[in-house]
Amino acid sequence: MARIDLVDLAHSYGGNDAPQDSFALKPVTMTWRQGGAYALLGPSGCGKTTLLNVISGIITPSRGKILFDGQDITPLSTQKRNIAQVFQFPVIYDTMTVGQNLAFPLKNRGVPKAEIDKRVAEIGRLLDLEPYLNRKATRLTADAKQKISLGRGLVRSDVAAVLFDEPLTVIDPELKWQLRSKLKALHRELDLTMIYVTHDQTEALTFADTVVVMHDGRVVQSGTPAELFDKPAHTFVGYFIGSPGMNILPAEVRGREARIGGHVIALNRSYDNLPANARIEIGVRPEFVDALAPAPGLLTAKIDRVDDLGRIRFARVRVGDARLAARAPAGFAGSDGNAGLKFDPSHVHVYADSLLVEGAV
Amino acid sequence: MDKTVNQKAWFLVLPVFLVVAFSAVLPLMTVVNYSMQDTFGNNQFFWNGVGWFKELLDPSTDLGGRFLASLGRNLFFSLVILAIEVPLGIVVALSMPRQGWTVAACLVILALPLLIPWNVVGTIWQIFGRPDIGLLGYVLNHIGIDYNYVSNDIDAWVTVIVMDVWHWTSLVALLCYAGLKSIPEAYYQAAQIDGASRWAVFKAIQLPKMNRVLLIAVLLRFMDSFMIYTEPFVVTGGGPGNSTTFVSIELVKIALGQFDLGKAAALSLVYNLIILIVCWIFYTVMTNAGNERKHQEGAA
């Protein structure tokens, strides 16, 4: 039970002297609040597992500090940190029963027997492992084994945080849903800080109340699912969250106008102080672009195809070299393979060198 | 019944039958034949039935006494070297580096004793332990320890055991190392997270994962040490007295020293039978362990 602060934390597998571009985890300063359900979301190789292993102490960071409730624990070994972690593949102690597996982290820390029995029984009940408690842990299915791993992570009541490293990779999709809801329920019941690493946005958005998006070793945004959707702080977040991802278009922005080729799109805010020499782009989610018949005042685009997703249809179009997706009404065909795009000004964001620029009202 | 009948296949298998018959079956049958007879030289044989076998199992007779005594010595020897080599091999394997160039260096050094011919191993230790010119023997005597494997039973035993440990611990260590290498890194990380001590990691992760290779190591070392001949024969010749005379040495003495072919044949059959039984027990245990593992993986 603790607040976790990362202060200027960075890690390089090539040592501290390696150029910063090559760092697996670029300097990050952030706070994980006690009792939060966090998801660490990003594509493979973005540094999320590195960050997790740094927090748990499996990796010693090249730079920076980790504080648990204000106390610097950076030099402490994993055993001495108050942290639990569940790995991608189930880890089972073959010679023990399921119950002994669950009791292992408590036994190692010298918890009294009565207390151990109580916790094991409780976790066994929460994870539906009760019928197996006295059975050998070896001859179980992969998902039962992963449940045991989860149980070992949850069994200690005093941990600062429980870290999950893509724990549902080996589980069948059907069971994945159940286990994820179970984890969510456990989070509410046990009041533990949980950090859940995943590359699956659905998993992240359904599990967490705060999603931390990582890209190329950097934490690019941390916020609620709604914030990530409405106001991506980085073009990567816009593109990575949402299906299809955000439309990103190079544009010239001056005042309350964005120019694409010769076409002018109105903006809700005013952007007068954009950095010079920066790459300026506008970003807008497909849900806020309408594909209509070409008309004056609309941005003309070439239609590649129309995807019917059942409850919504997206036209895949091209403006110059840029590919966009736009909401298409039922029966939409365009004319001569062309469409006119209508943007919702309140949802058009401006990015300078991929970072969100807040305009003036 | 649409099986193709082609008797020509027999011709292809026939050479193997012939080779096996001449190299194994016929000699074995000769041994069985000898074991039922007594000989006084001049190729004269007399029928003795199961007499030799009765004597073998009766400690009051000369043959039985010698056989059972050497069998006891042999079993004791096997137990002692297993009790030393298995834990020592595990410790060596655990302390070996896991990556870097030192791995290759360690493997080469460990493999060296295994590559030396057995009689050379014997010769090395025979000279090494001599009190007059051997490094070990000379140094031990020089610092005041009265050591002479030629005249002292205990010194002879210590020499033979240390020699075997030197020669074969590497094998156990290499097998254990292979077992250890197969443990995924996640197990160690999980154990760290679970706050496991070094001993708990060994007991909960490393030992269970080394189970199978250890079983193989014990099997190999038991069989080898139970059949040991060359090394102790070169070093001590079975002496002083009979103190390091193991079953194989006794067998050679009876067969080639006294030329008692009947007694020797009976002894070698019983010796063979013991080895077969032990092999069978190990094989059964190992395949059972294998099946259990398959079960687990099938379920996973």
- Facing B196 at nearest CB: one of A84, A85, A108: A108
* Cis before B240 (ω within 30): yes
Nearest to A348 by CA among A258, A242, A241: A258
| Pairwise CB contact (< 8 Å): B209 & A104 | no
Select the residue of B194, B208, B209 nearest A152 (Cβ to Cβ).
B194
Parallel/antiparallel/unpaired status of strands A4-11 and A25-32: antiparallel
* Alpha-carbon distance B195 to nearest alpha carbon in chain A (angstroms): 5
Residues A141, B197: C-beta atoms closer than 8 Å: no
Residue pair B170/A74 in contact by the 8 Å Cβ criterion: no
In order of start, what are the domains of chain B with their CATH numbers?
68-299 (1.10.3720.10)
Mean pLDDT of A267-283: 85
Backbone dihedral angles phi then psi of residue A221, each to the nearest 5 degrees: -160, 150
| Disruptive mutation site among A76, A138, A162 for chain B (greatest number of B CBs within 10 Å) | A138
> Which residue out of B183, B192, B194 would a mutagenesis test of the A interface target, given it has the greatest number of A Cβ atoms within 10 Å?
B194
Q: Which ranges constitute the DSSP H helices of chain B?
A: 9-20, 26-35, 51-56, 62-95, 101-115, 118-128, 135-142, 153-181, 185-193, 198-201, 207-226, 230-235, 247-252, 261-299
Q: Coil, strand or helix: which one is B209? A: helix
Mean pLDDT of chain A: 86
CA-nearest residue of chain B to A161?
B193
Residue among A64, A67, A57 nearest A33 (CA): A67
Which residues does chain B have within 8 Å of residue A91's beta carbon, measured at their own beta carbons? 186-187, 190
Residue A239 CA: distances (Å) to CA of A57, A232, A249: 32, 9, 12
User: What is the pLDDT, as a whole number, of residue A185?
Assistant: 84
Helix axes B153-181, B62-95, angle to 10 degrees: 40
List CB contacts of A93: < 8 A, sequence separation 6 or more: A100, A101, A104, A137, B204, B205, B208
Q: Between β-strands A210-215 and A218-223, what pairing exists: parallel, antiparallel or unpaired?
A: antiparallel
Residue type, A75: P
Using only C-alpha atoms, what is the Rg of chain B? 25
Percent of chain A with pLDDT over 70: 100
Distance from CA of A236 to the nearest CA of B (A): 31
Q: How far is C-alpha A173 from the geometric centre of its chain's CA atoms?
A: 19
Q: pLDDT value at position B298? A: 46
Taking a C-beta distance cutoff of 8 angstroms, is the pair A334, A313 a contact? Answer: no
Residue position matching structure tokens 């724990």: A167
Q: How many CB pairs under 8 A join A and B?
A: 62
Q: Which tokens is A231 given? A: 């106001």
| Residue B11 half-sphere exposure toward CB, CA atoms < 13 A | 3
Task: Spell out a b/e string for A219-241, using b for 16 or more CB atoms within 10 Å of the CB, else e.
Answer: bbbbbebeebbebbbbbbbbbbb
Confidence at residue B300, expressed as pLDDT on a 0 to 100 scale: 40
Q: Please count the other Cβ atoms lying within 10 Å of the Cβ belonging to residue B150.
A: 17
A164 and A195 Cβ atoms separated by less than 8 Å: yes
Task: With cut-offs at 50, 70 and 90, classify the pLDDT of residue B77.
Answer: very high
Cβ neighbours of A83 in B, within 8 Å = 193
- Return the percentage of chain B with pLDDT > 90, whole number: 30
Of A58, A46, A64, the C-alpha closest to A4 is A64
pLDDT band for position B294 (50/70/90)? low
Rounded mean pLDDT, A67-74: 86
- Torsion angle of the four alpha carbons B194, B196, B202, B208, in this order, in degrees rounded to the nearest 10: -30
Q: Cα–Cα distance between B176 and A360 in angstroms, integer?
A: 69
- Give me the long-range contacts of A220-228 (CB less than 8 A, separation at least 24): A222/A30
A232: left (phi > 0), else alpha (psi -120 to 50), else beta? beta
Domains of chain A: 4-240 (3.40.50.300), 249-357 (2.40.50.140)
Of A117 and A137, which is predicted with more confidence?
A: A117
d(CA B111, CA B171) in angstroms, rounded, equals: 8
Measure CA B214 to chain center: 14
Across A299-311, average pLDDT: 86
- Residue in A with minimal Cα distance to B202: A93
What's the rounded Cα separation, in Å, for the pair A168 and A92?
A: 16
Where does A12-61 show beta strands of DSSP type E?
A: 25-32, 37-41
Model confidence band, residue B292 (pLDDT cutoffs 50, 70, 90): low
- Cβ B195–A79 below 8 Å, yes or no? yes
Q: What are phi and psi of A25, to 5 degrees?
A: -130, 115
Q: A182-216 burial by CB neighbour count: b if 16+ within 10 A, else e?
A: bbbebbeebebbbbbbbbebebbbebbebbbbbbe
> For residue range B129-178, what is the model confidence (pLDDT) as tens digits?
888 888 988 899 889 888 888 888 888 999 999 999 999 999 999 999 99
β-pair type (A263-271, A252-260) = antiparallel
Among A78, A89, A140, the residue with its CB nearest the CB of B193 is A78
Percent pLDDT > 70 in chain B is: 95
Contact between B190 and A85 using a beta-carbon 8 Å cutoff:
yes
Higher-confidence residue of B170 and A271: namely: B170
Q: Residue A173 has what pLDDT? A: 81
DSSP state of A234: B
**Residues forming a β-bridge with A307:** A314
Cβ atoms within 10 Å of A112's Cβ, excluding its own:
9
Tell me what the pLDDT averaged over chain B comes to.
Answer: 86
The two tokens of residue B7 are: 């008797």
Encoding tokens for residue B176?
């254990």
Cβ separation B193–A94 shorter than 8 A: no
Determine contact: B189 vs chain A, CB below 8 A.
yes
Return the top range by mean pLDDT from A181-185, A232-236, A267-271.
A232-236
Average pLDDT estimate for A146-173: 85
Q: Are A63 and A9 in contact (CB under 8 A)?
A: yes
Taking CA–CA distances from A141, the nearest residue in chain B reads B300
- Interface probe for A, chosen from B188, B193, B206 (most Cβ of A below 10 Å), is B193
Provide the β-strand partners of residue A84.
A162
Q: Is the pLDDT of residue B11 over 80?
A: yes
**CB-based contact (8 Å) between B205 and chain A?**
yes
Q: What is the ipTM of this complex?
A: 0.75
Nearest to B299 among A79, A88, A141 (CB): A141
> What tokens were used for A53?
């292993």
Yes or no: say if A212 and A40 are a contact pair by the CB < 8 Å rule.
yes
pLDDT value for B291:
65
Q: What is the 3-state secondary structure (H, E, C) of B149-187?
A: CCCCHHHHHHHHHHHHHHHHHHHHHHHHHHHHHCCCHHH
Residue pLDDT, tens place only, B228-275: 888 888 888 887 888 888 888 988 988 888 888 888 888 999 998 998
From CA B95, how far away is CA B89, in angstroms rounded? Answer: 10
Write out the two tokens for A162.
Answer: 């429980």
Q: Mean per-residue pLDDT for A255-262?
A: 83
For residue range A174-218, list pLDDT tens digits in order.
Answer: 888 888 888 888 888 878 889 999 888 888 888 888 999 998 888
> Which residue in A49, A76, A94 has the most chain B C-beta atoms within 10 A of its own C-beta, making it the best mutation to test that interface?
A94
Residue B299 pLDDT level (bands cut at 50, 70, 90): very low
User: Nearest-CA residue of chain A relative to B291?
Assistant: A139
Top pLDDT among A298 and B176 is at B176
Average pLDDT over every residue of A338-351: 88
